Amino acid sequence: MTTSNLILIIVVVAVVLALAVVAGVVLNRRRRISLREKDEAERRTQVKGGGYQAGGGISFASGAATAEPEAADPAAPVHPVDERTEVEGQPGVGDDAAVPRDTERRGIVDVELPDETATAEPVTQPEVPEQATAPPEAEKPAAPPEPEKPAVEPEPEKPAVEPEAEKPAAPPEPEKPAVEPEAEKPAAPPEPETPVVEPEEIEPTAGRLERLRGRLSRSRSTFGQGLLGLLGAGDLDEDSWEEIEDTLLMADLGAATTTEITERLRSEIASRAVRSPEEARTVLREVLVDALGQDMERSVRALPHGDPANGGKPAVLLVVGVNGTGKTTTTGKLARVLVADGRHVLLGAADTFRAAAVEQLATWGERVGAEVVRGNEGADPASVAFEAVSRGSDTAVDAVLVDTAGRLHTKTGLMDELGKVKRVVEKKAQVDEVLLVLDATTGQNGLMQARVFSEVVDVTGIVLTKLDGTAKGGIVFQVQRELGVPVKLVGLGEGPDDLAPFEPGAFVDALLN
């Protein structure tokens, strides 16, 4: 090999190496997204998110038009149980927890479905004596006789549920009237009762979200500001994207949703040639709002089927969930919203595990002037629920809200009992809405609860409570993705009016602004 050939080869190699280096740099630049190229003036012209400005109230719908839950949410993704993404080690129906919280409080009673002759009077209503006959039980042909079936509570003004056989009769509750007068309702049914508590003024639902926006500050400072900080920090390299993923995971969005959102962000930012923090914010908002399912039907089906005054049936809502998530509080808050909307509401205190829960709901009823149908502690919750719905139909209310006892999703007997409550109610009326109340502070555990409850009672909507006390507001993304069930309401505090409709755009704005 001559010297000139050697030199030639060296030159060719050098040129090839130089081309490779240049190509590498170009590719690297393309992957990186510099957010420093726009000047300040242009940044200031960028439109920011609108804030948590949902000015409307909670929207209600009639169950009549949406009798079938699936039909009501055509746009909702279907997530069959078979497609669960994170089921390892997690309980399903049929699994028992080692030591359920409830066991010490109350044993599980094998409650028979009320048969036709008994269902009509499952809960004693002194003022409604005609509810004393019912057809035979369809689902339980060989049901043993229930000697202890609803017996009329001796107290004249207090509707009470008949205690069950193995349950000692609850002590009589002396002077607490179960039916509240409807002072605020112009179209209140003819139930002129002695007012015990003056119904209090209810804050209008319109504009409520704006007021509660600050309650999301914990999620905003970690999740929202964390993402904006990363996206606006400068070049988005692999490390940045990993941090973005970590931020999403820590906010409880879950692995699948995190991956989906990160990939979408990367592709949108690259394809739109995003070059400024404001553009990145716009893309982020869009991606997050889309991930929350803007088109999901979030109306609460609490409007009656026809005019109750002319034979129409009230809407029936069941409120379910594990212990302490905020079911009773949510039931009371929702009653306030309905009453403020001019609706006539009846509350069913089917949480018979805990006497205090019944009292708690009765207090909510008093505060808004809603009648409360209650049972003694330990009474058959299905009977109380049934009686509440019967009473609601008889008194022509617009909606019956049934508060159920907290139950661990891992406790098979309790979940079976819940399924039974729903079946019994359905003997009397269509259940329009099953609201699963989840405590947002419980993170992944809330998701497990949602899965199991959803299998047992066909959850139609989620109420995410205590969002004011958590930095993990991202659970909302995951719950909806996993179940295809929309978050309809959010609890943002313990106050009576701290319940707001869930609106994806407003929620994301509250996180990012």
Q: Which residues are annotated binding-site positions?
A: 321-328, 403-407, 465-468
One of 119, 124, 328, 454 touching ligand GTP (CB under 6 A): 328
Interacting stretch for ligand GTP, rule CB under 6 A, among 156-164, 201-209, 351-359, 413-421? Answer: 351-359
One of 406, 461, 473, 505 touching ligand GTP (CB under 6 A): 406
Q: How far is the CB of 156 from ligand GTP (least distance, A)?
A: 29
Interacting stretch for ligand GTP, rule CB under 6 A, among 107-115, 139-147, 269-277, 349-357? Answer: 349-357
Distance CA 424, CA 382 (A): 6
Distance CA 212, CA 481 (A): 25
CA angle 345, 349, 468 (to 5 degrees): 80
Does 351 bind ligand GTP (CB under 6 A)? Our answer is yes
Q: How far is the CB of 407 from ligand GTP (least distance, A)?
A: 8
Does 329 bind ligand GTP (CB under 6 A)? Our answer is yes
Q: How far is the CB of 279 from ligand GTP (least distance, A)?
A: 35
Instruction: Tell me the two tokens of residue 290.
Output: 């889309």
Does 409 bind ligand GTP (CB under 6 A)? Our answer is no
Does 100 bind ligand GTP (CB under 6 A)? Our answer is no
Question: Judged by CB, which is closer to ligand GTP: 114, or 381?
Answer: 381
Find, among 252, 250, 278, 209, the residue nearest to 512 by Cα. 278
- Neighbouring-strand partners of residue 303: 62
Q: How far is the CB of 319 from ligand GTP (least distance, A)?
A: 8
Does 58 bind ligand GTP (CB under 6 A)? Our answer is no
Find, among 331, 468, 472, 464, the residue nearest to 405 by Cα. 331
Of all residues in the shown chain, the one whose CB is closest to ligand GTP is: 406
Give the rounded distance of the alpha carbon of 308 from its chain centre: 27
CB 142 within 8 A of CB 153: no
One of 327, 344, 422, 472 touching ligand GTP (CB under 6 A): 327
- In three-state secondary structure terms, 374 is strand
Interacting stretch for ligand GTP, rule CB under 6 A, among 58-66, 302-310, 366-374, 466-474? Answer: 466-474
* Secondary structure (DSSP) of 207-265: THHHHHGGGGHHHIIIIIHHHHHHHTSS---HHHHHHHHHHHHHTT--HHHHHHHHHHH
Q: How far is the CB of 158 from ligand GTP (least distance, A)?
A: 21
**Residue 349, C-beta contacts closer than 8 angstroms, at least 6 positions apart:** 357, 358, 361, 362, 372, 373, 374, 375, 384, 388, 403
Residues forming contacts to ligand GTP in the complex (CB under 6 A) are: 321, 323-329, 351, 354, 357, 406, 465-466, 468-469, 491-494, 498
